[in-house]
Chains A and B, each alone.
Chain A
Amino acid sequence: MSEILAIQGLRKSFGGIVVADDVTLSIGSREILGLIGPNGAGKTSLFNLISGVVLPDAGTIYLQGAPIDGLPLYRRARAGIARTWQNVRLFETMTVMENLLVAPREYGGESVLRILFGGAAVRREQEALRERGSAILSRMGLAATADTLVTDLPFGQQKLIGLARALMNDGPCLLLDEPMAGVEGGVYETIKAIVREEAASGRAVCVIEHNISFIKDLCTRAAFMANGRIMQTGTVVELLSSELFIELYFGT
């Protein structure tokens, strides 16, 4: 199992609030790491630090062995870090397909000159992206929604579109922020299957989730966070039975 993402000694505080306290963690290819912990433990902050939304006070993040700390936000996604958001954050005035089309690592539509003079090359590229988008939607059983405005979809499906958009980035690292929150039934099973397939294809997946059965079903390993610190890592079974976890999570 080759190491995809490695975090070393990451620290970040906002004023007096420490959201990352000497966090060291690594995720390998084909691995699904569950990140669990009470609200305010620093899980989403850790995602923000990795994806570059927030800059750390200290520490280093490596993607496939190369440090990515110096990279601006948008370059980290291009380097191969894909993420989803707790509150989905879709582009609300756009259709499902359009949400997907702006999401690949390299998007030729980002240069006015290319659009003006690119001609057939731009069209072919857009066509290829559209096919990739359709393929991802089909995997989720949402092919029929391609031309629907995202806000016209029920929340569960919007959540899937959020995941689909992240999958347009075919990079090695996938960060999922509470993919199961507000989701039930068929969508739940779909997300589980997709996450499994993505990991099997060689990606490193990190999932923040409060749904313990999801973590149990899916994760190969889990890390337990509290107060910005990784308290414990291990197999899911080990972690769930640890006293520290029960105490901090359920407050008993």
Chain B
Amino acid sequence: MQYVYSLLVLIGIYVTLSASFNLIIGNGGLISIAHPIFFALGAYTAALLGIHFNVPVLVSIVAGMLVALGSSFALSLPSLRISGDYLLIISIGFQLGFLQVIKNIDFTGGAGGLGNIPSVLSGETRDIVFASGSLLMALGVVLLIRWIVRSPYGRAITAMRDDELAFVTLGRNAMKIKLVIFALGSGFAGLAGGVYAYYFLYLSPDQFEILQSATILTMVVVGGMGSTLGPVVGGVLLLALPQAITFLQLPPNVMGPLQGVIYTLLVLIFLFVRPQGLISAARRQT
């Protein structure tokens, strides 16, 4: 049962991550690969507040979200001022650099990871609370994003992505919109980080490697970029699939490589066969 609960917690976390990343890349058209680092910022902030300052869990998690949200400007402000293309380049540096910092200072536990995160609740109650909490977080984030995307603000985001120059010459401040959606997306990733920290009670820098961004991107692409339900389907599917494969009873010499290449394979298959993802983005209706 423990296994099912932890899978549910992970599903909530990854749906949150992919939905928020979808807001940035799918709706906003902003290409960044630094999503895992905002996930990490939320996780480490929440954990450290709990370990060193005995801050209550919920407060720590919210603080983690705010730190991720706030630090997104350090990446978005300088790069978006020049041009959207620089966001990708600077995000690579941001992702790699920040992870090096986490790996090399004692305060964050270094490369060995951060343990001693205070545990709240115990037994099955803990699993149930975290599983439902994590799923509720995902639901809340998905609904909020859906609401934003369908609102007049979402209309502005779509117009900006369609033709930024025409959009700006209508009097719209595209820079501000980009900063805001990048901050919101990063904040949600930080929120997921806090939940992750307090459920698994151990953080290792490896969990926030650049490869995580490939995982999240796969979820977005397979689910359907720019559609609100896409990342939900993508997240659930891609977390369940590797688990499902283990039940196939394939020989280990097939299983190992298969699990290794499954994400890459899926991205390639989807880009060829169904580039809009499982759920295609809805056309905007008035």
- Chain A interface (Cβ < 8 Å from any Cβ of B): 51-53, 73-78, 83, 85, 89-95, 97-99, 101-112, 115, 122, 126, 130, 146-147, 149, 165, 168-169
Contact = CB atoms under 8 A, between A and B. Distances in A.
B283 A74 contact: no
B153 A91 contact: no
| Candidate in B156, B158, B169, B170 with the most chain A CB atoms within 10 angstroms | B169
Top 7 closest A-B pairs, CB basis? A109-B152, A77-B171, A91-B162, A89-B166, A78-B171, A97-B286, A91-B159
A109 B169 contact: no
A101 B155 contact: yes
A98 B158 CA distance: 10
B162 A92 contact: yes
Interface in B145-183: 148, 151-153, 155-156, 158-159, 162-163, 165-174, 176-177, 180
Contacts of A95: 283-286
B80 interface: no
A119 to B, nearest CB: 12
A108 B152 contact: yes
A110 B169 contact: no
Nearest to A85: B166
Contacts of A92: 162-163
A215 B180 CA distance: 45
B99 interface: no
A122 B152 CA distance: 9
Contacts of B180: 112
B162 A93 contact: yes
B184 interface: yes
Contacts of B172: 74, 102, 107, 110
A115 B285 CA distance: 18
Contacts of A101: 152, 155, 286
Given A52-B169, A89-B166, A107-B171, A94 B284 contact: yes
B186 to A, nearest CB: 14
Given A95-B286, A107-B152, 6 more contacts: A91-B158, A93-B158, A98-B159, A99-B159, A101-B155, A112-B180
Contacts of A115: 148, 151-153
A75 B176 CA distance: 13
A73 B286 CA distance: 27
A111 B97 CA distance: 32
A95 B285 CA distance: 7
Given A101-B286, A115-B152, A94 B162 contact: yes
